[in-house]
């Protein structure tokens, strides 16, 4: 039996992200906005949804329960995009077993308050430090499972500091203040991510739903945020981690810039076609993109068809297209994981031979 056929979950994911030979796509739900916490999962394991956002031990237990109950091949924390926003002063909700956490009010009421912004210390901030402790706990308990730290992206965090419309208006009216917000977002993300890596995270996923081309467009993306992604991912690589970038929605208009972000892999939601992404992104690994609506409401047959289609089209890392809805049946997500785990390498090889797309090995 070859070493490739005996890869651990951690080895498999890291090989994909490093563009090295591997046996099949990993199947993951990284955490953050792509959390695998559902009502069934939390209640069946006796986990309090709000405490899983605040308490390191409960957070680690929830991440472990998601892997054990669903079959995903990773451990990921935290389970939302509110940690950095709250550390900067935003009003947030903790969520419950049935309601996801969310940002209720941005950190600043107006652009006049921008000069007061300060980058939080992740080792001292209450919630950030609990996430770091959760990473250390998971690292001490698992050797062969990849630990994924999750962060908000710079666009999303900037619009958690100042309301989205106000921030976009500021880009036109006062670029100095706008760039200060972006700088604080970048430094908050970078310092928290490096601290996660120092605590034991193998991979960092940056989720930036507000960066969709439908919202900010390619000009703002390239001018203001592409340099920030490069800086952020460069720091994470220097600290020793692999990286994933997730952006929601239709990203066609910003695809030409994605390879320049410095991320190791690009994650997309269900509106994007894997085959087209493969053509646009070349050798950059693509992650996704089983519809979370389908996972919540679809039949087993429909779910199986969509998962197999993504595999056939060359997806490198199989995953839900976004965060699972709290009402998602666990058996539907288990089915996705089972299909990926039984995907044969020979099927990928036939796909390459037939010219239908890039295989899952390189």
The continuous run of DSSP H or E covering 40 comes out as: helix 39-44
Which distant-in-sequence residues (6+ apart) come within 8 Å of 92 by Cβ?
82, 85, 86, 101, 102, 103, 104
Whether 355 shows a pLDDT value over 50: the answer reads no
pLDDT digits (tens, 9 = 90+) for 133-162: 999 999 999 999 999 999 999 999 999 999
Q: In whole angstroms, what is the distance from residue 357 CA to residue 350 CA?
A: 10
Give pLDDT, residue 345. 53
Give pLDDT, residue 4. 67
All structural domains of the chain: 4-353 (3.20.20.210)
pLDDT digits (tens, 9 = 90+) for 74-104: 999 999 999 999 999 999 998 999 999 999 9
Q: In whole angstroms, what is the distance from residue 203 CA to residue 206 CA?
A: 10
Contact status, residue 9 vs residue 341, Cβ threshold 8 Å: no
Look-up of token digits 């916490």: 37
The terminus-to-terminus CA distance of the chain in angstroms comes to 19
pLDDT digits (tens, 9 = 90+) for 9-19: 999 999 999 99
pLDDT digits (tens, 9 = 90+) for 36-59: 999 999 999 999 999 999 999 999
pLDDT digits (tens, 9 = 90+) for 215-265: 899 999 999 999 999 999 999 999 999 999 999 999 999 999 999 999 999
Question: For all residues of the chain together, what is the average pLDDT?
Answer: 93
Whether 357 shows a pLDDT value over 50: the answer reads no
Q: What percent of the chain has pLDDT over 70?
A: 94
Contact status, residue 272 vs residue 250, Cβ threshold 8 Å: yes
Q: pLDDT-based confidence at 344, cuts 50/70/90?
A: confident
Average pLDDT over residues 336-352: 71
């Amino acid at each position: 039996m070859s070493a490739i056929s005996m890869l651990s979950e951690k080895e498999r994911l890291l090989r994909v992200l490093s563009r090295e030979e591997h046996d099949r796509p990993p199947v993951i739900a990284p955490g953050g906005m792509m959390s695998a916490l559902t009502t069934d999962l939390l209640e069946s394991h006796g986990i309090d949804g709000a405490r899983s956002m605040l308490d390191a031990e409960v957070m680690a237990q929830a991440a472990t329960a998601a892997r054990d109950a669903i079959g995903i091949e990773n451990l990921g924390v935290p389970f939302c995009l509110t940690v950095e926003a709250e550390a900067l002063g935003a009003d947030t909700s903790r969520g419950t077993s049935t309601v996801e956490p969310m940002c209720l009010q941005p950190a600043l009421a107006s652009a006049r308050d921008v000069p007061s912004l300060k980058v939080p210390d992740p080792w001292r901030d209450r919630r950030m430090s609990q996430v770091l402790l959760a990473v250390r706990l998971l690292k001490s308990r698992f050797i062969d499972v990849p630990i994924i730290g999750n962060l908000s992206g710079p666009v999303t965090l900037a619009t958690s500091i100042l309301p989205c419309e106000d921030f976009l208006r500021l880009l036109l009216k006062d670029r100095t203040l706008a760039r200060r917000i972006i700088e604080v977002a970048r430094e908050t993300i970078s310092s928290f991510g490096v601290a996660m890596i120092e605590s034991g995270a193998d991979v960092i996923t940056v989720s930036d739903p507000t960066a969709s081309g439908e919202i900010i467009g390619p000009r703002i993306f390239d001018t203001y945020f592409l340099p920030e992604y490069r800086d952020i991912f460069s720091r994470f690589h220097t600290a020793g981690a692999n990286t994933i970038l997730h952006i929601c929605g239709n990203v066609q208009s910003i695809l030409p810039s994605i390879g320049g972000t410095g991320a190791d892999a690009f994650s997309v939601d269900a509106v994007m076609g894997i085959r087209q992404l493969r053509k646009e992104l070349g050798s950059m690994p693509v992650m996704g993109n089983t519809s979370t609506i389908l996972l919540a409401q679809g039949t087993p047959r429909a779910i199986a068809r969509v998962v197999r289609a993504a595999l056939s089209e060359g997806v490198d890392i199989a995953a839900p297209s976004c965060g699972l809805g709290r009402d998602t049946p666990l058996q539907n997500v288990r089915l996705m994981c089972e299909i990926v785990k039984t995907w044969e390498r020979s099927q990928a090889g036939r796909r390459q031979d037939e010219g239908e797309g890039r295989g899952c090995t390189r």
